Amino acid sequence: MGRMTELLAALLFGLALLPGQASAQKSYAIAMHGDPALPADFRNFPYANPDAPKGGRIDYAWPGSFDSVNPFIVQGSAARGSVDLMFGNNVFDTLMMRSADEPFTLYPLLAKTVETDDERSFAEFTLDERARFSDGTPVTPEDVIFTLKLLAEKGLPRYAVTADKVAKMEKVGALGVRFTFKRPDRELPLILGLLPILPEHAIDRETFDRSTLKPMIGSGPYRLTEVRPGESVTFTRNPDYWAKDIPSKRGFDNFDRIRLTYYRDENALFEAFKKGLIDTMIDENSGRWSTQYDFPAVKSGALIRETLANKLPSGMFGIVMNTRRPVFSDVRVRDALTSMFDFEWVNRTLFSGFYKRIRSFFDNSDLSSAGSPANETEKALLAPFPDAVRPDIMEKGWTPPASNGSGRDRNFLRVGYDKLKAAGFSLKDGHMVDAKGVPLQFEIMLKGNENDQIAIAFQDTLRKIGIETVVRPVDAAQYQSRLNSYDFDAIFFRYVASLSPGVEQASRWGSEVRDKPGTYNYAGVANPAVDALLDAMLSARTRPDFVSAVRALDRTLLSGSYVIPLYFKPDQWVARWKRIERPDMTPIQGVQFPTWWVRKE
């Protein structure tokens, strides 16, 4: 009997370790890799001031206009501020709250716990029994299920992408909702955790996908109380906000009112800021930052200018070459063109020397391959693809040639010229031509006049060695239409990056989406090595393995010369009127407006 008991116990123990069963763990938080930085009994996020005073008003601004207040749909141009990375999720709470001081970690909000297994084949969220919409109605599992179904059917395309990975949604007990995935996915529990939840009882499903100026009900800290079409939106703090005292919200949502005003362009916006009609702005214009803050309020100290270290990856801002076009089908041609952007001259003459050259898709972070040799994990990942990464990039990352900044550096031009010569091109009658005498020429498409100075500067550099380019500005509607159908030679594009790149990378570089209209694979990448590294990145369980996979992907993309890397700003330039205060600590994700407050005199 003793032996039989041992065998039975062993069998039961083995069954207990099946994925999704005893290996599942319920937790107050979830991290993409590793453990959450904060303990279960944390009092507040370290970048928020739990004693920040409540009251007053802040005025934000944004260039442009709007014709809708529904931020979840394709139709219309939605006003910002309801669910917003910059201005805060003021109207709609998400299932969980993302920490701005960690790569990708979520803490309690609408859901007080999350449960998943080692494989991450499912995610089960248990709602906080206190969670309420602004009309006092409880937030229920039915609302969660309704939201994902509604957004998948009638919302922005990214919601359908998420929903398509879910095999089953079901209510569990009184407050739980469980998502079972079609296949294990490490990131999907976190993506679902960032889902804003809508009230089923207050949504007209039939008309949801139509633009509207009628304020929507949410469970967030503010109500949208005033809409001036195309001009401004005003949010008023809900004194009965259900989550105002939970740790992940302590020190947030300190203003009684938030007003977001739209201005026709950035010049008008800046003039309004100088007059005190706007309380704060993050300035992205180097010329303005260096020369236009000499007005009296700055000199008297009434307006504060701050340069705050940016701890996020640079992302990739560059000129994307469409490899679907014959002119860019040869990687040697793309590499030569990549060598010919005269950053030193552009930075000196146009940007007062404020910018740095981008050397990686994840520059300014530990995810970057710049300046470091591939480690053993990277080498193992790249071993099946021996030609995917250039030897120099394998050894030290990508190093662009540098000019003397004069705009007439012949040695700098020689680098690109020699590469084109090696690719079979030659200079004849002032034109760079291939072996068949076909000139090397292409068009750079612009959205209106965006980046026109940079395009013209690049055009001038290329002309010096016989390469003809046409800089083609088009209106916004035509630009978007041509993007969707990949009807362009080259464009400017900014690929935003985080410390936890995920499935969005597949939509930028994956072979599967190359020929699907409307994706972000503008370069037309179809590279087996890239696909394999995307899989390795998405399946990595530890931070070291994840970093190695991202660096290997970085090296492969740089070796493919799909994008001409331009420049990035290593700091955030922030200006604010003195009556507005902020916490001393700036988290790795940068400025967090929802943690600011009005100074008490």
pLDDT in tens, 280-298: 999 988 889 999 999 999 9
In a domain, 298, yes or no: no
- CA dist 597 and 574 (Å) reads 15
SS3 232: strand
**Helices 452-463, 343-350: inter-axial angle, 10-degree rounding:** 140
CA 40 to chain centre: 28
In a domain, 34, yes or no: no
- CA dist 372 and 375 (Å) reads 9
The dihedral over CA atoms of 442, 446, 450, 453, expressed in degrees to the nearest 10, equals: 20
Q: Which of 338, 456, 343 is nearest to 405 (CA)?
A: 343
Q: Which of 453, 483, 487 is nearest to 566 (CA)?
A: 453
Residue 14: pLDDT over 70? no
Q: Contact at 8 Å (CB) between 179 and 169? A: yes
Residue 1: pLDDT over 70? no
The confidence score (pLDDT) of residue 329 equals 97
In a domain, 387, yes or no: yes
Q: Which of 247, 243, 223, 245 is nearest to 235 (CA)?
A: 223
Q: What are phi and psi of 155, to 5 degrees?
A: -100, -170
The confidence score (pLDDT) of residue 282 equals 95
The confidence score (pLDDT) of residue 223 equals 98
Which residues constitute the domain of residue 379? 316-568
CATH number at residue 376: 3.10.105.10
Q: What is the pTM of this model?
A: 0.84
In a domain, 332, yes or no: yes
- CA dist 579 and 276 (Å) reads 11
Q: What is the mean pLDDT of residues 355-362?
A: 96
Average pLDDT, the chain: 94
Cα Rg, the chain, nearest whole Å:
26
The confidence score (pLDDT) of residue 363 equals 96
In a domain, 11, yes or no: no
The confidence score (pLDDT) of residue 491 equals 98
Q: Contact at 8 Å (CB) between 51 and 153? A: no
- CA dist 440 and 571 (Å) reads 38
Query: Across 429-552, where does the E strand assignment appear?
Result: 431-433, 441-447, 468-474, 490-495
In a domain, 393, yes or no: yes
Query: Across 448-595, where does the E strand assignment appear?
Result: 468-474, 490-495, 563-565, 567-568, 571-577, 580-581
In a domain, 301, yes or no: no
**Residue found under tokens 């900014």:** 494
SS3 509: helix
pLDDT bracket for residue 518 (50, 70, 90): confident
End-to-end alpha carbon distance in the chain = 80
Tell me the pLDDT tens digit for each residue of 46-63. Answer: 999 999 999 999 999 999
In a domain, 412, yes or no: yes
The confidence score (pLDDT) of residue 11 equals 36
pLDDT bracket for residue 23 (50, 70, 90): low
Q: What is the mean pLDDT of residues 407-421?
A: 96
Lowest mean pLDDT segment, chosen from 67-71, 279-283, 309-313: 309-313
Q: Which of 514, 408, 508, 517 is nearest to 465 (CA)?
A: 408
Residue 307: pLDDT over 90? yes
In DSSP notation, 531-573 reads HHHHHHHHH--SHHHHHHHHHHHHHHHHHHT-EEE-EE-SEEE
Tell me the pLDDT tens digit for each residue of 458-498. Answer: 999 999 999 999 999 999 889 989 998 999 999 999 999 99
Total domains in the fold of the chain: 1
Task: State both tokens at 98.
Answer: 């993302």
